[in-house]
Copies of this chain bind each other. A is one copy, B any other.
Amino acid sequence: VTNGGIAPRTLRGFRDLLPDETRAQNFLIDRARASFESFGYEPIQTPALEYAEILKGKGGGDNEHQMFEFTDAGGRDVGMRFDLTLPLSRYVAQHENELTFPFRAYHVGYVWRGDRPQRGRFRELIQCDADMIGASGPAADAEILAVYGTTVASFELGEFRLRTNDRRVLNGIFRNLGLAGDRLADALRTLDKLDKIGAPAVAAGLAELGLEEPAARKAVDELARPAASNDEMLERLARLTESDAEGEEAVENLSRVSGLAVEYGLPPEILRIDPSIARGLDYYTGIVFETTLLSAPEVGSIGSGGRYDSLSGLYGRTAWPGVGGSIGISRILSAVGDDVLRRALRPLVVVGHGGDELLPSALSLARSLRAEGLRVEVYPTPRKHDAQLKYAASRRATLFASVDGGGEVWFRNLERGSTARAPLGEAAAAIVATLSGPGEP
């Protein structure tokens, strides 16, 4: 027993993941990767550190102000990335001669934000992004909705809704109400707070931008009131954008996108056209979307994004059109991590032994079980049988096996409480049979 005098602690807003938490996180990431891969998306990686000016380029909104920024030993002003979208745009501009367009990319990585830490909000988050760069039009938009819907469905976290809108629809509606210029962006930012501050406060905010009070209230009602179907909502939006060319075209696009998304494989009951979705980031130029779990609406969107057609133009000769989004793995885990873990756990076998001379037999049994695809660990030091059994239980092992003198293996199925014995040479087969026997799901 000693103490080196350095208190073991993590920085405020940062945290370790315990094994179960990491397992749940890995489960979601692996499912997302498999889903993105099935649609032909290619994995990429970018550095954690970038020149600060790259990250401050545009559109990061509040996140930019919360960037971890410092001067490195070479005197460079550097920042830790706070999202994966700006690095992707820089990546596309830098490597455009090495990529094939349309370029479908997915990107799994940590991002860092110096937010004031709150319950469930951390300064280090892991995100999974998938984006298509170099394709405009409703088919590309629809594919992204289908990719995100399919991916969230693969998490098996119960019912969810993918709500989509087009920012140009909102621009058309607010123009018809008399707003113009910067006021349009202000109106979208005000509307984006609907879930947080409620309809009356949003109406008051719009009134401050210059709308008549009754018109502001009516507009919020039209945007926030659910419709019986996507078709009914599209009719309402067509009416609200009437004679605004950009708005009308955007409603037509939204109609085409929602139809194609279903052809792409998105279950139709999941998709909702919802004009109250605005998204807070300035770089979106077309469709936007959010995903919410019906079992955890309070955490907000767990998968969101949209079309951004000018980002890569910040850095390069070509303004590649882009559409994509981000899955908030850390946010999902904060809401329903236990549900995820139940799906992520795999059976574990602990092999013990009665003394050093029996260790080779225990190792041989472990090798045979591992060859059957099982997770198997061997208790490495000789200890009493009961202590080993207690260890296996605390590891939540599915089965404990002990190699005893006389060439026999005693084993207990810890889930069912049943025990049995088998000669060493037959023990692996008997254990596999027990684990896959009747009563197992």
Contacts and interface: CB of A to CB of B under 8 A. Distances in A.
Given A4-B314, A8-B91, A70-B70, 6 more contacts: A10-B94, A11-B72, A16-B47, A17-B46, A139-B359, A264-B378
Contacts of A1: 317-319
Interface stretch (A169-177, A234-242, A299-307, A363-371): A363-371
B68 A72 contact: yes
A16 B44 contact: yes
B2 A317 contact: yes
26 contacts: A2-B317, A3-B316, A4-B58, A6-B53, A6-B314, A11-B50, A14-B47, A14-B49, A16-B44, A16-B91, A16-B94, A22-B45, A23-B43, A39-B376, A39-B377, A40-B350, A48-B48, A73-B114, A100-B394, A139-B359, A139-B380, A139-B381, A140-B380, A263-B363, A264-B367, A265-B367
Given A39-B370, A44-B16, A76-B11, A57 B6 contact: yes
Interface in A52-70: 53-54, 57-58, 68, 70
B102 A380 contact: yes
Interface stretch (A104-112, A186-194, A426-434): A104-112
Given A54-B6, A114-B72, A367-B265, A104 B377 contact: yes
A315 B135 contact: no
B364 A263 contact: yes
A37 B346 contact: yes
